[in-house]
Structure 1
Amino acid sequence: MRLPGTRYQEHGWEQVRKLLGLCSLQAFRRIEMHQVLDPGQHAPLLDSYTDAVAAALRANARSARAEAEGNSYGESVYELSLGLLFELQAQPAFWQAFAAAVASEHARSGAFWLDAAAEGVMRKKVNDMFATLRDKVDADNYIVATGRDCSPNKIYTYRMLDTAYREISAMFTAWEQHAAQVGAILGRPLAGSPIEVRQMKSISGCRAEWIIRWSETQELFGGSPGPLHTRSKRFASLKNNPDKIAAMLTEIGDYEELSSNMDRADDWQGDAGEAVLWLEDYWRVIGESDVAESGEDDRILAAPVPDEFEAGEEEADPVAEQGDGADDAQLAAECQRADTLSLPLRYMEMARAAQESGSWTLRMLREESLPIRLAVYHKLLGASDDTYPDAWLDPATGELPTLQQLAALDEISMPTLRKRRNEAIAKLYAANTASAQ
């Protein structure tokens, strides 16, 4: 997505986020992280953190990720990462919010930053810090470029609408696989290829009512509420304000058309849509609203390896334990289900092989099927996370399959999937609580 003055809203953000996360984890090993518990030390700790991350960025400056294009204005991922890091020093309130989040986690879990198994927790808090800072920086630059008021929340709303458009566009392109939801979005049953598939060439051609109906149908077809229909009130007003949605879609489309003359020959927008359909922030909003309602805690804490498992012991694979004939039949059935869901034919086989046999979570959930385990990760970490093996991801979205897809892979209904997923999560929390006593 492009808007006047913004630099961080385009396709390169995912790589900026990952590079800053990697360098931050390296920095945390070099600075006195226990000082985060003392508010009086936050300012000098920020200086130490900035110096350490800047050094790590320079050390990684020649990596493929750092040299990748960060936006359509010619800035690299390295340049954008370094710029956002120094913005953190200029706006220390975001560092203080990060420090408060780390201190709160420490009150529950102790010095978790010393545990390599908890790196995912630290990376998520770093991601949150830079994601909120990114929107503040881009909102300020938007104001300078246009003279119009803008807030970080409004930037977030622009991005949500842009990603919603890309999701709808992908559905329209593959309308035969999504006929029921596409019909619901258009407000009529389909009788052949809908003309809107050919008419919607850009975000300017996306109608506000389509965004609202798409969000309304997400829970039924995708397993999670759409952004306008979560318990969060962030976007609640938009679902009753199609004129505002239409105006924002038009502004995004108009500026992209105006600025397209600055593009190179390659079409980065197509790559952007294929690389990431959803942003990590969106899943965080859903997760926070779910936790607020249910009282659940979505933390994943490291736990000691139970005594009954040897360090190198692997989980027994129920498919592998069957005879060759049963094995072939099972794989054939899995391939057929994956093909029906537009997943790679050997998705289940490759995803199963990518599991880490030594992981505590896998040991605790050894009796659960692979789709149930992935549904657990989907709930606790979201649809996308840096720690997921590529074999777990749907190539079309770069994320875990939807809950609807996972239920189909397991040949169970959505309510059954959710019930087994919640039972598995309860088992993890119970095991972690027992190990802490």
Structure 2
Amino acid sequence: MRLPGTRYQEHGWEQVRKLLGHCSLQAFRQIEMHHVLDPAQHAALLDAYTDAVAASLRLNARNARGEAEGNSYGESVYELSLGLLYELQAQTAYWTAFVLAMAAEHTRSGAFWHDAAAEGVLRKKVNDMYATLRDKVDADNYMVATGRECSPNKIYTYRMLDTAYREISGLFAAWEQHAAQVGAILGRPLAGTPIEVRQLKSISACKAEWIIRWSESQAQFGGSPGPLHTKSKRFASLKNSPDKIAVLLAEIGDYEELSANMDSADDGLGEAGEAAAWLEDYWRVMGESEQAEASGQPHDEDRILAAPLPDDDVEAVAEDTHLESGEAADSAELAVEQARAGELSLPLRYLELARAAQETGSWTVRMMRDESLPIRLAVYHKLLGADDDTYPDAWLDPATGELPTLQQLAVLDQISMPTLRKRRNEAIARLQTAGAR
């Protein structure tokens, strides 16, 4: 299932779940799990857990599961897993719920994490933590992408309807073997091949009434009640709301159709429009500055871009620039940065040299002084494209001669792709607002 802004609702989730579960079990053998019993240690335990799982994920990055396709946006299972791990540090309520569940299990079973036979219990608790976090992350990014309200429960509802559609589609495809249930879904006895079998080519063609009748028929044909007909109140209102179901089905279908090649469309059309709007403001500001200078009036230095440094000056000021920007890293931080760059086949000192090559006096850098370097490069990537003559060589991936991809920038910043896009778009919005003043 694809929805605006979401990354974790597609086919790759099962492998993401398994990889995070596997790496979590390895991490539990390395960290002080008894600290789940001490609330004062929960934050420190999260840090230790994150470091241990991140290290384990990197060891699995090049195996078959890590390199497997995680979604239709080109993100691998490893990239999605690492992104969700770092989201856990930003949304600590999910970690708190996990450690409280671990402490409750300890009350019943003692230090069960030492028992090899309890691996299933550990995996279940890890799965629950990441499954709920996944829906929160996707709901947040859905709201950013669409401007519409969305909750994790609504994401869950979308997924239920998508699953129901696929179940119905399978029944229709094999209607002869499931004639009684297909007839119950269509609301009539079958007399030959039902035309709906040929018409149901996408979720957009699925009718809300079919979803309701399918759920109702599950008790008879599937052995257990369907999602709309259980004792749970989660979907109870939907079975009497076909109009609401129809709207949700249509939204899934419309987006899946529009996003068949979403990444290229986003980079080539949508982003180009936003870039043009911002660049128009930029040239207007530059024109006003030039007019002010020609008339002898003082110009507002905060509203213009400083000229780029000559290439032969970049290395001479690199070290001072690094220190003056307040982003100097100690040797341990540099080692971590180099490890991340190495994983992406970038030069080991990529972040260090790219940071030094920034134009410290420019208006854009001053406006984005609170953003990380990968976010700044993502802004340029969107506004000017991956390949522009104004980019310093230190910013470019030697393998392509272009800026790193958005996926690479997200890994360099240790955030998920949706978070990178959200922060990039927020930075661009600030530039647009400032340029319009």
Bin of the TM-score, shorter chain as denominator length: 0.5 to 0.7
TM-score, structure 1 normalization: 0.60
- The AA in structure 2 aligned to 1:78 is Y
Q: Which runs of 5+ in 2 are unaligned?
A: 265-437
**TM-score (structure 2 length as normaliser):** 0.60
Amino acid at match of 1:206: C
1:59-208 aligned within 5 A: 59-208=59-208
**Counterpart residue number, 2:44:** 44
Query: Percentage identity across aligned positions?
Result: 84
CA distance, structure 1, for counterparts of residue 83 and residue 259 of structure 2: 23
Mapped to 2, the partners of 1:254 and 1:243 lie a distance apart of: 16
Give the C-alpha shift of residue 109 in structure 1.
1.2
The residue type equivalent to 2:237 in the other structure is S
AA matched with 1:139 = A
Shift of 1:241: 0.3
Q: Structure 1 CA distance, aligned partners of 2:22 and 2:263? A: 30
Q: Give the Cα separation in 2 of the matches to 1:254 and 1:199.
A: 16
Residues 1:7 and 2:7 are matched in the alignment = yes
Q: How does 1:336-355 map to 2 (within 5 A)?
A: none
Matched residues in 2 for 1:258 and 1:23: separation? 36
The residue type paired with residue 76 of structure 1 is S
Matches within 5 A, 1:5-404: 5-262=5-262
Q: Deviations over 1:304-339 (max 9, x none)?
A: xxxxxxxxxxxxxxxxxxxxxxxxxxxxxxxxxxxx
Conservation of the 8 A alpha-carbon contact between 1:228 and 1:235: yes
In 2 relative to 1, CA 83–263 (structure 1 residues): closer, same or farther, beyond 3 Å?
closer
Deviation at 1:118, TM superposition (A): 1.0
Distance in 2 (CA, whole Å) between partners of 1:128 and 1:238 is 25
Q: CA deviation at 1:262?
A: 4.0
Distance 1:229 1:32 in 2: 44
Q: CA deviation at 1:249?
A: 0.1
Judge conservation of contact 1:12–1:77 (CA < 8 Å) in 2. Answer: yes
Offset from partner CA, 1:86-143 (integer Å, 9 cap, x none): 0000000000001111111111111111111110111011000000000000000000
Mapped partners of 1:262, 1:148: distance in 2: 20
Find the aligned partners of 1:261 and 1:68 in 2 and give their Cα distance.
19
- Using the alignment, how far apart are the partners of 1:58 and 1:96 within structure 2? 25
Q: Partners of 1:12 and 1:80 in 2: how far apart?
A: 9
Q: Which moved more, 1:240-249 or 1:31-40?
A: 31-40
Q: What residue identity is the alignment partner of 2:90?
A: A
Deviation at 1:261, TM superposition (A): 3.0
Matched AA of 2:5: G
| In 1, Cα distance between equivalents of 2:165 and 2:141 | 24
2:121 maps to amino acid: V
One-letter identity of the residue aligned with 2:140: D
1:6 is matched by which residue type in structure 2? T
User: How many residues are matched?
Assistant: 264
Amino acid at match of 1:91: Q
Distance 2:179 2:201 in 1: 19
Q: Report the alpha carbon displacement of residue 263 of structure 1 after superposing the two structures with TM.
A: 8.2
What's the secondary structure of 2:119's corresponding residue? helix
Alignment partner, residue 269 of structure 1: none
Query: How far did 1:38 drift?
Result: 1.1
1:182-239 alpha-carbon deviations (Å, 9 max, x no partner): 1101101111211101001100000000000111111211112111111111111100
Give the structure 1 partner of residue 293 of structure 2: none
1:216–1:121 CA distance, 2 compared to 1 (3 A): same
| Deviation per residue, 1:266-303 (Å, 9 max, x gap) | xxxxxxxxxxxxxxxxxxxxxxxxxxxxxxxxxxxxxx
RMSD over aligned CA atoms reads 1.1
Larger radius of gyration: 2
Aligned partner of residue 260 in structure 1, secondary structure: coil
Contact 1:72 1:263 in 2 (8 A): no
| AA partner of residue 154 (structure 1) | K
**How many Å separate the matches in 1 of 2:110 and 2:223?**
35
Structure 1 regions of 5+ residues with no counterpart? Answer: 265-437
Supply the distance in 1 between the matched residues of 2:11 and 2:48 (Cα, whole angstroms): 30
In 2, the alpha carbon distance for the partners of 1:263 and 1:43 equals 37
Pairwise CA distance, 1:73: 0.7
Per-residue deviation, 1:154: 0.4
Residue identity in the other structure for 2:43: A
One-letter code aligned to 2:2: R
Distance in 2 separating the partners of 1:85 and 1:7: 14
Name 1:302's counterpart in structure 2.
none
